[in-house]
Amino acid sequence: MINHYRYSRGQFTITFVELLLRGSDVVSFLDSQSTLKISLLSPDHFHLATFLDPQGKVETYGWLLQKSDHFLYLVPKLLKEKSLARLNRFLVSEDVEIEDNGLKNWSFILGEQDRGLIFDEPAMLAELPSEQIEIIPAPERELWRKVNGWPSFDGSDFTNELVNNLRLFDLAVVMNKGCYPGQETVSKIATHRGAAYSPVLIESDSAIEPGILNLEGNRIGTAVESLSWDGKYYTVTNLLRDFRVERMKLNFESNGKPHQGIVRYYPLLPGNKKSKALELYDEALSLFRDNNLSEAESLLRKSLTLDPTLADAYEALGVMLGRQNRYSEAIEIMEQLVQVDPDSLMAHTNLSLFLMKTGKIEEAENHKSLATLKSFSKFGNEAKEKELAEKKAKADAEEWARREKMFLEVLEIDPEDSLANYGLGSLAVERGDWQKARDHLERVLSEDPKYSVAYLALGKAYKGLGLVDDAKETFRKGIKVAAGKGDLMPANQMQSELDRI
């Protein structure tokens, strides 16, 4: 049922403690005290915000809503006293007045207006629910909240812990903003290696009981709660950084039982409209192949509602309608495709076919001519692209030669220099000179086994040489090294390479 609301609209109401903040210094006060950059907000927009202690630990969280001349801080009921104490503690001489308006109902309305995010979905906050929009049942709302890693609305999962160790770090902390209590600690941890333990999901075929996760006798994390979604289990887990790599496969024990799982990052269910449109498009194609045309059509139309620029969906829908002899509808869809993608060869080709079927010979011939012109234009564009590609290849070759000369000069002084060997090895990978790449990159890792990006390049070299087992082992070692250093970008790239082998 969650997808029903993800792909359309939905709403739910939460009872918050409503704190009103006003005064001439309210913007500067909130900006200097919270993890949110207040200038990101505009009237009637909202954002999750946290307030930390000087050590970077969370003291309270809630939703800041900007109004025309004041702010509302909507706080979980269990965090009322903590919130008031935190706000007043740092209020010295500023012109800021804080009013406790008590418990108030506020409705999150998803898919209506983009005034903030909830569950990674565009939404608005309203004092009254909409009579026209379906209510999201509480069990669905809570499952959605948990699989996307959002904090509880009543404060029941609050923990006075470093914000870097919590999902709140991703949802409420704006990096590179001005100072606030705890900012130095937060930035230091984030830019060094990241949190030792922080939350991810582990996807598995069976539920994992809460408890310590062990791998080869060593603790790698703590399972908090298992959730069931779409035929799989997703366990909320505080996982050690060494294993926090997207799609890494893990074999571990929990409460004496062996488990297998795959690391998944939050959010499990993306809120981006283009991502959701592609999900529906892919599902529609699968249904189309199974000849389930009615459902396929419904999903394609939903995908176009979410992303009216998705050219592939117009083409698929038009072809499907044409196969059902619904030519007038197919023509309408293909005309929309022309508006979205004026260079679409298939739009004019299909329009010619469908118009011919409806007896509109002259229009059909016109689109046939346009298809021919588009075809010529395509060939012309391909020629231009080929010319540009040749120019780029020449420029790349010149740049490679310049860099190669520089690295070789360094190696004349020190043949074991890691940076120069890595530079020559990565250049060889770009060129597809696998053996040369192997020679230089193996030398790098013999001198510096912690050179994480060298594992990525060497794995590619082994793969290019057909040494698949060596490539797998190199990627596995590299992932461990990179994740241990907090170098998640090369770690994730190596995991992707490993998944493709």
Within this chain, do residues 162 and 206 fall inside the same structural domain, yes or no? Answer: no
Residue 296's domain is classified under what CATH number? 1.25.40.10
Strands, DSSP E only, in 415-490? none
Residues found in the chain? 501
Mean pLDDT of the chain: 90
Residue 64's domain is classified under what CATH number? 3.30.70.1400
In a domain, 187, yes or no: no
CA dist 402 and 200 (Å) reads 43
Kindly tell me if the per-residue pLDDT of 380 is higher than 60. Answer: no
Query: Which pLDDT score is estimated for 351?
Result: 79
Kindly tell me if the per-residue pLDDT of 370 is higher than 80. Answer: no
For the chain, the 3-state helix, strand and coil shares in percent, each to the nearest 5, are 50, 20, 25
Residue 252's domain is classified under what CATH number? 2.40.30.110
Q: Which of 207, 232, 264 is the last residue of a domain?
A: 264
Query: Which pLDDT score is estimated for 489?
Result: 87
Q: Which of 356, 381, 406 is the last residue of a domain?
A: 381
What range defines the domain where residue 152 resides? 2-172
Q: Which of 330, 363, 381 is the last residue of a domain?
A: 381
Tens digit of each residue's pLDDT (9 = 90 or more) over 251-281? 999 988 999 999 999 999 999 899 999 999 9
CA dist 392 and 390 (Å) reads 5
In a domain, 181, yes or no: no
Tens digit of each residue's pLDDT (9 = 90 or more) over 72-104? 999 999 999 999 999 999 988 899 999 999 999
Within this chain, do residues 18 and 146 fall inside the same structural domain, yes or no? Answer: yes
Closest residue by Cα to residue 179 from 59, 37, 47: 37
Within this chain, do residues 6 and 98 fall inside the same structural domain, yes or no? Answer: yes
pLDDT band at 381 (very low <50, low <70, confident <90, very high): low
Within this chain, do residues 259 and 280 fall inside the same structural domain, yes or no? Answer: no
pTM (predicted TM-score): 0.81
What count of Cα atoms within 13 Å lies in the side-chain half-sphere of residue 331?
16
CA dist 227 and 387 (Å) reads 53
Query: Which pLDDT score is estimated for 376?
Result: 54
In a domain, 145, yes or no: yes
3-state secondary structure of 118: strand
In a domain, 179, yes or no: no
3-state secondary structure of 92: coil
Within this chain, do residues 315 and 240 fall inside the same structural domain, yes or no? Answer: no
- Say if residues 300 and 280 touch (Cβ distance below 8 Å): yes
Query: Which pLDDT score is estimated for 416?
Result: 84
CA dist 217 and 203 (Å) reads 21
Helix (H) or strand (E) run with residue 384 in it:
helix 361-413
β-bridge partners, 212? 222
Helix (H) or strand (E) run with residue 460 in it:
helix 452-464
Tens digit of each residue's pLDDT (9 = 90 or more) over 427-447? 899 889 999 999 999 999 998
Tens digit of each residue's pLDDT (9 = 90 or more) over 143-184? 999 999 999 999 999 999 999 999 999 999 999 888 999 999
The number of domains in the chain is 4
Using alpha carbons only, give the angle 225, 76, 101 rounded to the nearest 5 degrees. 170
Within this chain, do residues 322 and 218 fall inside the same structural domain, yes or no? Answer: no
Query: Which pLDDT score is estimated for 458?
Result: 95
Could you tell me if residue 64 is left (phi over 0), alpha (psi between -120 and 50 degrees) or otherwise beta? beta
In a domain, 386, yes or no: no
Starting at the edge strand found earlier in the chain, the sheet holding 97-110 runs: 46-52, 58-66, 71-75, 10-22, 97-110, 121-126, 117-118
In a domain, 178, yes or no: no
Burial 325-360 (b: 16+ CB within 10 A, else e): ebbebbbebbebbbebbeebbbbbbbbbbbbbeeeb
CA dist 9 and 238 (Å) reads 32
Kindly tell me if the per-residue pLDDT of 374 is higher than 80. Answer: no
Residue with tokens 């540009």: 388
Query: Which pLDDT score is estimated for 166?
Result: 97
Helix (H) or strand (E) run with residue 165 in it:
none
Task: List the structure tokens of 356.
Answer: 């011919």
3-state secondary structure of 393: helix
Q: What is the mean pLDDT of residues 462-468?
A: 94
CA dist 106 and 130 (Å) reads 11
Within this chain, do residues 287 and 433 fall inside the same structural domain, yes or no? Answer: no
Within this chain, do residues 255 and 293 fall inside the same structural domain, yes or no? Answer: no
Within this chain, do residues 58 and 207 fall inside the same structural domain, yes or no? Answer: no
Query: Which pLDDT score is estimated for 413?
Result: 85
pLDDT band at 295 (very low <50, low <70, confident <90, very high): very high
Kindly tell me if the per-residue pLDDT of 393 is higher than 70. Answer: no
Within this chain, do residues 298 and 447 fall inside the same structural domain, yes or no? Answer: no
CA dist 98 and 19 (Å) reads 7
> Which residue type is seen at 428?
A
Q: What is the mean pLDDT of residues 177-193?
A: 90
In a domain, 495, yes or no: yes
CA dist 346 and 287 (Å) reads 22
Residue with tokens 């990101």: 40
pLDDT band at 358 (very low <50, low <70, confident <90, very high): confident
Q: What is the DSSP letter of 116?
A: S
Within this chain, do residues 45 and 162 fall inside the same structural domain, yes or no? Answer: yes
Within this chain, do residues 227 and 309 fall inside the same structural domain, yes or no? Answer: no
Query: Which pLDDT score is estimated for 389?
Result: 66
> Which residue type is seen at 84?
L
Tens digit of each residue's pLDDT (9 = 90 or more) over 19-71? 999 999 999 999 999 999 998 899 999 999 999 999 999 999 999 999 999 99
The three-state DSSP-derived secondary structure of 190-244 is HHHCCCCEEEEEEEECCCCCCEEEEECCEEEEEEEEEEEECCEEEEEEEEEHHHC
> Which residue type is seen at 394?
K
In a domain, 402, yes or no: no
Lowest pLDDT segment from 54-68, 251-265, 314-328, 389-403: 389-403
Q: Select the more confidently predicted residue: 422 or 82.
A: 82
